[in-house]
Amino acid sequence: MRISRFFVGGFFILTIHLLGIAQRGIVPIHQIQGEGNISPYDGRTVTTRGIVTFISQRGFYVQVPDNEVDDNPKTSEGIYVFTNDVIPPGIAVGNLIEVTGTVTEYRPRNERYFLTITEIINPGIKVLSRNNPLPTPQTLTLNDLNPQGKIDQLERFEGMRVKVDSLIVIGPTGGFEDKKSGAIVSDGVFYGILPKTPRPFREPGVSVLTWLVDKLPQNIPIFDMNPEILRVDSDVQEGSKPLDVAVGMTVRSLIGVIDYSRRAYTLLLDTKSQTPVLEGQRKFIKVSPAGSRETTIGFFNLENFFDDEKNSENIQDETILPKEIFRVRLNKASLAIREVLSYPDILGVEEVENIKVLRKLAEKINSDAIKANQPDPKYEAILEEGNDGRGIDVGFLIKSSRVKVLEVQQLAKNEKINFGNRTGYLYDRPPLLVKVEILDEKNPTVLTVIVNHFKSYLGIDDPENGEYVRQQRRRQAEWLANYLVERQKSNPNEIIVVGGDFNSFQFSDGYNDLIGILIGNPSQNVLAPSKTSFPTGLIDLVNFLEPLNRYSYVFEGSAQVLDHILLNGPAQERALKFGYARLNADFPKIYSNDETRPERISDHDPPVVYLSLDPLNKKTN
């Protein structure tokens, strides 16, 4: 036995070479990986060998040479070697090495819903040869990324080099905020499917991982997590640049190593082996302006629309944007509302900091319209402070050139929820109601609009707080549904439009069925069912769209609806058109920095409904 010592980055790296003994006791990688998720060698010390194929920040991947591959397609020929913060000397792509270490099944700390990753830790390393050809990448096919497949169908490629000839983007490149400048930095991560695969959508139920880990009741519906989706990390390799792509684009010639991260199989892109090719640039899709006998009502989650000033002493860690970033956001929001939403008459907004910020946006839109030689919409801002800990609220932009405000009412601000040993406000962001008159010489029309921003999914599956979150969400929907029932009793002919970010799908998510509560038909197959049916008479307009257009948000590659417009009976009798302006959910986060384009001012696509100013004497069915 020979022990080599390397001093790297302030640490001694001990590399143990078990000459002779190690050679006789080598365990092939495919035996370590086995046919299942858990290695048959879990917890044991092994010696194996392979060619270094990819180096990451905290470890590297090795794979057996082509001539040592076994004949079992269910076992992977690659494995990850974890070295913490130091890559030992001698580790270079193409080197054939011998590794001695402990096999472990890794799961990130505090991550309950996760397929474990087989890896080798505390490695001793011996370099056997250098500059070897890399193992031939396996081409992924529709049999490997199968919509009907299991969530672990790529387990047999874990740690291996693979190739994707063509990938259709179904989740745009993400990003994060640079803490110093406030600008968005691309994270290089996007999601794709193979050609001929239908676009994946969120389906009813809790994720299958959650259902399995938490051992939920049999009646709870299960979402298969769309196993046909491949997550791609395009800039993890040293020296590589991120691929910033939009939904619908095609990326060709991808080679990389299969990892598992963020509950998804991930291709760690190897741009040194092959340069990907991008095809099919796209831009926003606008909605049409209101016709002469129409009025338009939209709802827009503006995603953390804070300004550049200190506004409140009551909010800890208040978000204050750099002046330049706020200027860019104002410009993009103005572009979005003018050029993509086509100046809606009434626009409910969510995630706005305060009335001062919303007034600044209204003034910006109005002045930009005049500069563009367009009619001044004379937008006016309406917002009431709520209970949100970060200070975000709901409000309205009202086009006063065409709309007269008759009434403003904040609903349920002081309503409380008591559950278990906890008490709090029912709504962080209480619903806001406006009653308005659409100014029209022939037929002035009075209608009521309620903007909403329900509690998010954050913490919904938490072992300690999850039940409180589920019950709060249920009671928010029940309060609003009951309010609508009672309001319509006193005025059954009132036209009511209810919309916003409900943080809920158009079907049960297995935890709650909030939209079901609002339309009077809640599912009981949820963890927090509503025992009361509220005959609101509401319908959810998203159900009348073609299936491929039923989304306002994209999460980890799955398109889904969080933003809804619901109409009561009298509103249904005037409904003409409905759709989503496409400018956010499908576009890369890096577009947030570009003030010349409206795309990615937010992560939600806004819904817009068109109502006739003349009664149609028919109800949508």
Q: How confident is the model at residue 18, as a pLDDT?
A: 35
| Amino acid at site 442 | K
CA distance 104 to 32: 10
Please give the full DSSP string across 548-573, using - where no structure is assigned: GG--SEEETTEEE--EEEEE-HHHHT
What is the per-residue burial (b if ≥16 Cβ within 10 Å, else e) of 541-571?
bbeeeeeeebbbbbebbbbbbbbbbbbbbbb
Number of Cβ within 10 Å of residue 444's Cβ equals 11
C-alpha distances (whole Å) from 82 to each of 39, 117, 125, 330 are 16, 11, 12, 45
Q: What are phi and psi of 334, to 5 degrees?
A: -65, -45
Per DSSP, helices labelled H in 110-233 are 208-214
Counted residue by residue, the chain has a size of 621
Q: What is this structure's pTM?
A: 0.93
Give Cβ neighbours of residue 278 (< 8 Å, ≥ 6 apart). Answer: 243, 245, 249, 250, 251, 252
Structure tokens at 67: 């001539």
- The β-bridge partners of 294 are 612
CA distance 27 to 32: 7
Q: Coil, strand or helix: which one is 575?
A: strand
DSSP code of residue 218: T
Is residue 357 predicted with pLDDT exceeding 80?
yes
CA distance 435 to 388: 24
Q: How confident is the model at residue 72, as a pLDDT?
A: 96
What would the pLDDT profile of 133-167 be if each residue is shown by its tens digit?
A: 999 999 999 999 999 999 999 999 999 999 999 99
CA distance 121 to 106: 10
| β-strand pairing of 575-580 with 607-612 | antiparallel
What would the pLDDT profile of 456-477 be if each residue is shown by its tens digit?
A: 999 999 999 999 999 999 999 9
Number of Cβ within 10 Å of residue 617's Cβ equals 7
Structure tokens at 164: 């994707």
Number of Cβ within 10 Å of residue 230's Cβ equals 26
What would the pLDDT profile of 92-136 be if each residue is shown by its tens digit?
A: 999 999 999 999 999 998 888 999 999 999 999 999 999 999 999
Helix or strand (DSSP H, E) at 30:
helix 29-33
Is residue 20 predicted with pLDDT exceeding 50?
no
Q: Which of 184, 278, 283, 183 is nearest to 599 (CA)?
A: 283
What would the pLDDT profile of 189-212 be if each residue is shown by its tens digit?
A: 999 999 999 999 999 999 999 999
Contact 602, 339 (CB under 8 A): no
Is residue 338 predicted with pLDDT exceeding 70?
yes
Percent of the chain past pLDDT 70, that is, above it, reads 95
- pLDDT band at 16, cuts 50/70/90? very low
Helix or strand (DSSP H, E) at 330:
helix 323-335
| Amino acid at site 560 | Q
Q: Coil, strand or helix: which one is 517?
A: helix
Structure tokens at 183: 């600008």
Q: How confident is the model at residue 618, as a pLDDT?
A: 54
CA distance 66 to 488: 72
Structure tokens at 414: 């002081």
CA distance 13 to 219: 53
Number of Cβ within 10 Å of residue 327's Cβ equals 14
Find the mean pLDDT for residues 242-250. 98
Please give the full DSSP string across 99-126, using - where no structure is assigned: EEEEEEEE--TT--S---EEEEEEEEEE
Structure tokens at 275: 């340069």
Contact 496, 612 (CB under 8 A): no
Contact 243, 190 (CB under 8 A): yes
